[in-house]
Amino acid sequence: MSEAGRWIHHEVEEGADILYLTGVWRLSNLIAIADALRALGLAARKHFVLDGSRLQELDTAASFILYRYLATIGCTEAMVSARRFARKHERLLALVHERMACPPAAGKSMHLGLLQRLGAAAINMWRLLQSHNAFVGALALELLSLIRRPKLFRLKETVSQFETICLDAIPIVALVTFLIGVVFAYLLGLQAQRYGANIFVVDGVGLAICRELSPLLVAVIVAGRSGAAFTAQIGTMKVQEEIDAISTLGLSPIQVLVIPRLAAITIALPLLVFVGDLMGIAGGMLIAAWQLDIFASTFLDRLHSVLPMSAPVVGMVKAPVFAAFIAIIACRMGMLVARDARSVGMNTTSTVVQSVVWVIVLDAVFAVVFQRLEI
């Protein structure tokens, strides 16, 4: 028997076209069946009779392929009839026949041109900024009402947030800033040694760590750690309709969820920056002693005389501003989560990206402002 004959056999009996279905018509044999049908090379006739007497098994996929083939060669429903099928196969064929709308290929995902995508991205960005703005407004109103009714403030929630944002972050913040202190002092030392200006490494490390590196790095760490967590927490609550439940209970989601986080992170970040200052300087001190023969006492003495108080203060003034931006972006993105798991992931990513970008933009703005103010 030929390969095609294993599945389907065409015979003309008494002027009628009979198609004998043979063997196991199941999904696992679907490719061979489709090939066999194509190999038949039938043209549309007046009438086809499907014969099931030689059929062992049949499933919906195989029946669908058969009807689809008959449709492609131009057979209409009225031109096909079935005979000698087992009762269950008959029922199955009937169901497939009934449900078979000719399905168009599944909708292709839209491919936009470069310009269109650019435009769509710009519009989305604009809308996002607008909605951030509106959110800041709502937040400000809630903060005002907090001044009138201080009892609304959720101290317990704030303290527990503070613990996860600040205390739990100390090890990672300490490690990262310490290592940056080491790297910075090492590179600076290499240059300073050439000119015999070893002692100026102290000036450089102190200023850079306190004024720029520590605030920036700590903000980035907190954005990645706590900002992402805010979005994921609030987003998951949104998916579970917990936010709606909060509103329904007569509470304001901003009071319950956003303000404690905002307060905690605004207090936590300057403190973490202080930890970062100390650890960064400690890292620099280690390298200074090891590579440049500046001992700790000399280092501290020099630091005391050259590092203006304004440097760490500037760093710690910037921190709460970074913190507020991170909290607002993170909570906002959490609230914007749609009702599915995927958007929690997307918004969390977006929170981290937006926070880091904003932190750097703000840092640049601060640099210019402080320059003008000659601080």
Binding site for other proteins (CB under 8 A): 26-28, 30-31, 34, 59-61, 64-65, 68, 88, 91-92, 94-96, 99-101, 103-107, 109, 338-343
The structure tokens listed for 174 are: 């300490």
- In the complex with other proteins, the residue whose CB is nearer, 71 or 367, is 71
Least distance from other proteins to the Cβ atom of residue 103, Å: 2
Nearer to other proteins, 26 or 225 (CB): 26
Amino acid (1-letter code) at residue 174: A
Q: Given the complex with other proteins, which of 108 and 148 has the nearer CB atom?
A: 108
Nearer Cβ to other proteins, position 59 or 142? 59
To other proteins, the closest distance from the beta carbon of 102 in angstroms equals: 8
Task: Identify which of residues 68 and 154 has a Cβ nearer to other proteins in the complex.
Answer: 68
CA distance 288 to 278: 15
Taking the complex as a whole, how short is the minimal distance between the CB of residue 75 and other proteins, in angstroms?
Answer: 16
CA dist 207 and 214 (Å) reads 10
The nearest distance, CB 97 to other proteins, in angstroms, is 11
Measured from the CB atom, is 214 or 347 closer to other proteins? Answer: 347
List of residues 6+ apart from 38 with CB closer than 8 A: 69
The one-letter code for the residue type at 186 is Y
Work out how close the CB of 340 gets to other proteins at its nearest, in angstroms, rounded to a whole number: 4
Q: Is the Cβ of residue 176 or residue 232 nearer to other proteins in the bound state?
A: 232
Phi and psi angles of residue 232, each rounded to the nearest 5 degrees, phi first: -65, -40
State the minimum distance, in angstroms, from the CB of residue 48 to other proteins.
20
Shortest approach of other proteins to residue 339 CB, angstroms? 6
Q: Identify which of residues 60 and 252 has a Cβ nearer to other proteins in the complex.
A: 60
Distance of alpha carbon 50 from the chain centroid: 53
| Burial letters 294-317, b for 16+ CB under 10 A, else e | beeebbeebbeeebeeebbebbbb
User: In whole angstroms, how close is the CB of 209 to other proteins at the nearest point?
Assistant: 42
